Amino acid sequence: MTKNLIKEDELSKHKIERYQFLPLEKIEKNEIKSEEEIKKEIEEAAKEVKEESVSKQKETKEAKEENSEVVENLLKRIEELSSTIVELQMQNEKLIEEFEAKLQKEREEIEKGAKESALEEAKRGYENRLEELRLKYEESIKSLNEAVSKLNEFIKKVEEELPKSAFDIAKEVIAKEISENSKEVALALSKSLIKELKEATKIKLKLNPNDYNYIKEHFKENPAIEVVSDDTIEEGGVVIESDAGNMDATIKQRLENIKNLLSS
């Protein structure tokens, strides 16, 4: 428990007022005395009291009373200085707290700024990446459009050349088939054409000499069909004459029909 420097029975002799703390601004400007300065003042005051006490020992009763007043003034001054020391300690603690609070605030602001800066940097990076992807996408679309355009040109060219190519292929296939099996081809054509002439009562088949014997042998049992050899007709071809109509199934005519079909 803290003891008062002035005894209770002597309080009436002293004027005691509530101590007013110095403003923080003065503390920050070093307007308050340091502990060393205060201690020095206390020592000097004590020394003065001691010297006055020695010089006053031989004086009268009035002098002793005056010496007592000096002591009281000294005690009062010591009490004020002690209070100042306490205040200095309290102000120092307050300054430390305020400094730590300010430091923490600045640290938070720095961290917040760093986060915002990082976020802004990330946003810029994202936007740059997005722009790169957009440019690549546009370039890809451009390349794709060029490829489609070339493909359309190719398709158009193929469509223009397809009839001729198809005709040439058909011509080659037919020529190959006839060279290997002209007799069978002529027989198949003859049968097909005769079926179309159901109402005919008399039919004449004109064939290439190389196919003549084979076809004649096949229709020899049918008196309504006459087989004739004709060297103007190509191998595999057939020309039919009948009372129901005539039909040209020569290779030349068949190819012409195919050509017309592809061109239409």
Per-residue confidence band for 226, with pLDDT thresholds at 50, 70 and 90 = very high
Contacts (Cβ under 8 Å, ≥6 apart) of 203: 194, 197, 224, 225, 226, 240, 241, 242
Q: What is the pLDDT of residue 128?
A: 81
Q: What is the pTM of this model?
A: 0.36
Q: What domain range includes position 26?
A: 14-120
Last residue of a domain, one of 90, 105, 120: 120
Residues 187 and 114 in one domain: no
238 with 224: CB under 8 angstroms? no
Last residue of a domain, one of 120, 135, 155: 120
End-to-end Cα, the chain, rounded Å: 124
Residue 153 lies in a domain: no
* pLDDT tens per residue, range 60-77: 555 555 556 656 666 666
* More confidently predicted of 135 and 46: 135
Question: Which of 9-23, 82-96, 153-167 has the lowest average pLDDT?
Answer: 9-23
How do 225-229 and 203-207 pair as beta strands? parallel
Q: What is the pLDDT of residue 212?
A: 93
Mean pLDDT of 213-220: 92
Residue 41 lies in a domain: yes
Residue 96 lies in a domain: yes
Residue 235 lies in a domain: yes
Three-class DSSP category at 200: coil
Residues 254 and 180 in one domain: yes
Per-residue confidence band for 19, with pLDDT thresholds at 50, 70 and 90 = very low
Last residue of a domain, one of 120, 145, 180: 120
Tokens of 8: 């209770």
Instruction: Identify which of 165, 164, 210, 204 has the alpha carbon closest to the alpha carbon of residue 185.
Output: 210
Tokens of 259: 């050509």
Chain Cα centroid distance, residue 108: 31
Tokens of 253: 């005519």
User: CA torsion, points 77, 82, 85, 91, in degrees to nearest 10?
Assistant: -100
Q: What is the pLDDT of residue 206?
A: 93
Helices (H) and strands (E) in the chain, counts: 5, 4
| Residue 27 pLDDT greater than 50, yes or no | no
Residue 9 lies in a domain: no
Residues 116 and 173 in one domain: no
Tell me the CATH number at 171.
Answer: 3.30.2320.30
β-partners of residue 225 are 203
| Residue 106 pLDDT greater than 50, yes or no | yes
| Residue 108 pLDDT greater than 70, yes or no | yes
Residues 19 and 114 in one domain: yes
Q: Please, where are the H alpha helices in 13-60?
A: 24-28, 35-56
Q: What is the strand order of the sheet 247-248 is part of?
A: 225-229, 203-207, 238-242, 247-248
Residue 28 lies in a domain: yes
Burial group, residue 171, by CB count within 10 angstroms (0-12, 13-18, 19+): middle
Residue 132 lies in a domain: no
The domain total for the chain is 2
Residue 103 lies in a domain: yes
* pLDDT tens per residue, range 135-186: 887 887 887 778 767 767 766 665 565 555 555 556 556 656 666 777 888 8
Residues 207 and 112 in one domain: no
